[in-house]
Amino acid sequence: MCFMILSMRKEDEMLLIADELQAIGIQQMIIEIKDDCLDSEKVVKLLHEFSKYAMIHDTRVRDLAMYKEKIYLAREKYASISLKYQGLLSRNKELTDKLSTKFDNI
């Protein structure tokens, strides 16, 4: 597991850190009970599988946060372009109306 956070929103970063801390706590519990188990080889295998799961979870959460950010930026860009387009339509209508008025007066 890795605590390197790249361009994530604060709330996403906090959720990921909470998940990682929970995973570390579970790993520590497994390590603590390893000596009490008769088959410590199985415990080591379990610990390894859990570590793999934790890394996969970490990757997926980062990917989802990245996609969420890209969607947010795309929505902002769309809204901006849409407003510009609406402004251009409005300006075009004004100019067309002025031209129509001038041509009607000729």
Q: What is the pLDDT of residues 22-58, one digit of tens each?
A: 888 888 887 777 777 777 777 788 888 888 888 888 8
pLDDT at residue 59, rounded to an integer: 87
Residue 37 falls inside a structural domain:
yes
Which residues neighbour 66 within 8 Å (Cβ) at sequence distance 6 or greater?
Answer: 7, 8
> Is residue 1 assigned to a domain?
no
Q: Are 57 and 23 in contact (CB under 8 A)?
A: yes
Q: To the nearest whole number, what is the mean pLDDT of the chain? A: 83
Q: Is residue 6 domain-resident?
A: no
Q: Where are any strands of DSSP class E within 57-105?
A: none
Q: Residue 55: CB partners within 8 Å, gap ≥ 6?
A: 1
pTM confidence score: 0.55
Asked if residue 43 is part of any domain, the answer here is yes
Q: Average of pLDDT values for 89-93?
A: 94
Question: Containing domain of residue 82, as a range?
Answer: 11-105
Phi, psi (deg, nearest 5) at residue 43: -65, -40
Q: Is residue 33 part of a domain?
A: yes
Structural domain tally of the chain? 1
Could you tell me what percent of the chain has a pLDDT over 70? 92
